[in-house]
Structure 1
Amino acid sequence: MYHRILRNKKSQVTTLIGCLLILLLVSCSEKGNQKKQSTNKEAKATSYPSVAIKMMNPEYELSVPAELKPYEQVVVYARVEGFVKQLYVDLGDHVRKGQLLAVLEAPEMNQKYLSDKSTEQKIFSDYQYAKQAYDRLADAAKTTGAVAAIEIDRAKSVMESAKSAYQASKAGTAQSSQLQQYLRITAPFDGVITARNISVGALVGSGADKPLFMMAQGNKLRLSLSLPEKHAASVNREAQATFTVSSQPGKTFTAHLSRTSGLLDQQDRSLKLEFDVNNSSGELQGGDYAQVKLKLQRKNPSYWVPASSILNTQSGTYVMTLNDQAVKRISIKEGIQLDGLVEVFGNLSVDDHIITKPSEEIEDGKLTK
């Protein structure tokens, strides 16, 4: 009996010691877990890699499509109605400014000119007679009482009226003469005939919509391109373009900036650029498509960050700054890209450090130390 009681006491002590050991192990495990979690949080809080933001103004190259156009291009119409009497040029002919291209005939126009000229001569004779009559009366009036003053006034009025009629008639004759000049079709500039739409005997002029010729200037071309909006502020007035065309593989051409539109096109939000290209050798053709390379540079330095540091979310585009162990999300707009860096615009400063691998799980605020 005594031994049984002793065994029961030993069993109870053993059980109590076991419970105490279990409680001790559980307590140590919880403390270890808490310490491990705290350590993990601290490691997580201090493990965001970051780099200093860069302020740079690099020169960069941009490749854009363009078009080569004739420097001048025109559709030649007849100013007056008539029949084509003679043609002097054909498709592909090179012409000089003022060169005769075609001659029209309009007999009624010649008759009108002759009629106006005859009327002008008659009215001029009337004016001469009225002037002589006035001059005689003026000479006679030098003798006191020889001619009444009203007679001199009447003669002067007749003379001035005849003079006005003569001037009007002279202007009418000049108009008829000018219209006759329009029967001769001449080249407005040096160029090449790119289309001939009429033949001898065809009726042309104000009653017909068909043009006589199409002309283009080929010894000088315009290289025209549209520059996207985000690059518009990087254009230098002394910019030089290098370009290639598919019709001349392996060859590179150069041109200097001649003019810009000055304002962005409202349709495609682009800036129009034009480069004058000397083509006196005839090597290039107007109408070719070209691939242009431009060297551009901002007028002022801007902020640049690694491409991996930009966070794109449904709410917008951001970078995350890490300054004095504090995280802050900054809304930005992207600019150009260059060698793994991206130009950004936003509420940033030169002292900012940028988290290189941001995520939406990172919250703004102080990091736990």
Structure 2
Amino acid sequence: MYQRILRNKSLLAIATVLILFFTACSPDEKNELVQKKDVKPITYPTVPVKFINPEYEISVPAELKPFEQVEVHARVSGFVKQLLVDRGDYVRKGQLLAILEAPEMNQIYLSDKSTEQKVFSDYQYAIQAYERMVDASKTEGAVAAIELDRAKSIMESAESAYNASKAGTAHSSQLQQYLRILAPFDGVITRRNISVGALVGTGANLPLFMMAQGNKLRLTLSLPEKHAASVKKGMQATFTVSSQPGKTFSAELSRTSGLLDQQDRSLTLEFDVKNPLGELQGGDYAQVKLKLQRKNSSYWVPTQSVLSTQKGTYIMTLNEKKMQRIDVKEGIRLDSLTEVFGNLSPNDNILLKPSEEIKEGIIN
């Protein structure tokens, strides 16, 4: 009974002290105590940075061009005597396209041929004279040595004159061949700029014909700089053109420019496209899909973790309660991930939702 009375007195004393303490506290101090009880530690959701090398797909515009395209000019001056093809005609390599006429050229050839025959006769006579001189020199004292040398010199001069004359005749003959306009490769005539009777030649800027190769095309595109390092030999591409809706074509990388264009900072890629049935046309615009992959792994973070501000682009790491801002440069985007380049390590933890208000330093 006595112990129970002592315990009740102790509880009453403690209650009295608490009442006096709270009564002595000011209202502000009371609120502060209540707030301290309600304050919870701030937590920041994080995810580990990814060091991976995924394959990704991009879509870029491109253009289909003829594999070969050329302006056909006349090598010599003359009048158009005959036209054998027109716009839209398919021709084979070496096929005759047009015939020119230049009567004065034929006269030059005949003159050169006649001169060649005369010089050849002189050359034959010089050979015979030298051979007779050689036979006579076998008899001692019959022919002076200087006469034999002179005959040999005349023969050699006649030979040189004959060779020069023969070359002149060949030149005239070759110029006559230029009166026949031939197709340089298999293709289609895309334009005809002349008519029969027109004067054409080296002084005319307008070509006789425009030709293009249609059974093989070049698919040309400009790849942005940030993807240039992902290009590899033999990579495949699929593309569509507006003139063939719903149809997809494929091609393999044939060549690149090797260097970035200094104006738009892009790498030019070319894909050779076989077109034996003529389904595709040179000049069509295409939309190309490429599957690319970096040569080495890189760092990837959630896209929402990248914070772009006036001061720059950065992410925030939280490692062992230490908050830190890391300046980064964005690479490519893949679904919800963004490639970043900066001072990162594979063990870093990245804030999911960074903010400019979050300060760097130790987090309690």
Return the TM-score normalized by structure 2: 0.91
**SS across alignment from 1:134:** helix
> Which of 66, 79, 95 pairs up with 1:83?
79
> Which of 319, 323, 328 pairs up with 1:327?
323
Deviations 1:195-225 (A, max 9, x none): 0000000000112221100001111111111
Aligned-pair distance for 1:247?
Answer: 0.7
Structure-2 separation of matches of 1:30 and 1:253: 73
The corresponding residue for 1:243 is 239
Letter in 2 for 1:136: R
Q: Which moved more, 1:116-125 or 1:22-31?
A: 22-31
Kindly indicate whether residue 118 of structure 2 is the aligned counterpart of residue 122 of structure 1. yes
> Which of 159, 167, 173 pairs up with 1:177?
173
Letter in 2 for 1:194: T
Matches within 5 A, 1:190-269: 190-269=186-265
* Identical columns (%): 73
The corresponding residue for 2:351 is 355
Matches within 5 A, 1:1-369: 23-26=24-27, 28-29=29-30, 31-32=32-33, 35=36, 39=39, 43-44=41-42, 47-367=43-363, 369=364
Structure-2 separation of matches of 1:36 and 1:107: 114
Deviations 1:324-363 (A, max 9, x none): 1111111111111111100111111101111111111222
Letter in 2 for 1:32: L
**SS across alignment from 2:107:** helix
Letter in 2 for 1:297: Q
Letter in 1 for 2:152: K
**SS across alignment from 1:329:** strand
**SS across alignment from 1:32:** helix
Letter in 2 for 1:29: K
Segments of 5+ residues of structure 1 without an aligned counterpart are 1-17
**SS across alignment from 2:207:** coil
Structure-1 separation of matches of 2:308 and 2:64: 39
**SS across alignment from 1:312:** strand
Letter in 2 for 1:35: K
**SS across alignment from 1:89:** coil
Q: In 2 relative to 1, CA 56–21 (structure 1 residues): closer, same or farther, beyond 3 Å?
A: closer
Does structure 1 retain, via aligned residues, the 8 Å contact 2:22–2:30?
A: no
Letter in 1 for 2:124: Q
Aligned-pair distance for 1:36?
Answer: 5.8
Letter in 2 for 1:357: K
**SS across alignment from 1:115:** helix
Q: In 2 relative to 1, CA 154–36 (structure 1 residues): closer, same or farther, beyond 3 Å?
A: farther
The corresponding residue for 2:10 is none
Deviations 1:276-298 (A, max 9, x none): 11110111111111111111111
**SS across alignment from 1:266:** coil
Aligned-pair distance for 1:259?
Answer: 1.1
Moved over 6 A (4+): 18-21
Letter in 2 for 1:343: E
Does structure 1 retain, via aligned residues, the 8 Å contact 2:329–2:342?
A: yes
**SS across alignment from 2:280:** coil
**SS across alignment from 1:143:** coil
**SS across alignment from 1:176:** helix
Structure-2 separation of matches of 1:166 and 1:356: 91
Aligned-pair distance for 1:20?
Answer: 8.6
**SS across alignment from 1:283:** coil
Letter in 2 for 1:250: G
Return the TM-score normalized by structure 1: 0.90
Segments of 5+ residues of structure 2 without an aligned counterpart are 1-18
Q: In 2 relative to 1, CA 27–294 (structure 1 residues): closer, same or farther, beyond 3 Å?
A: closer
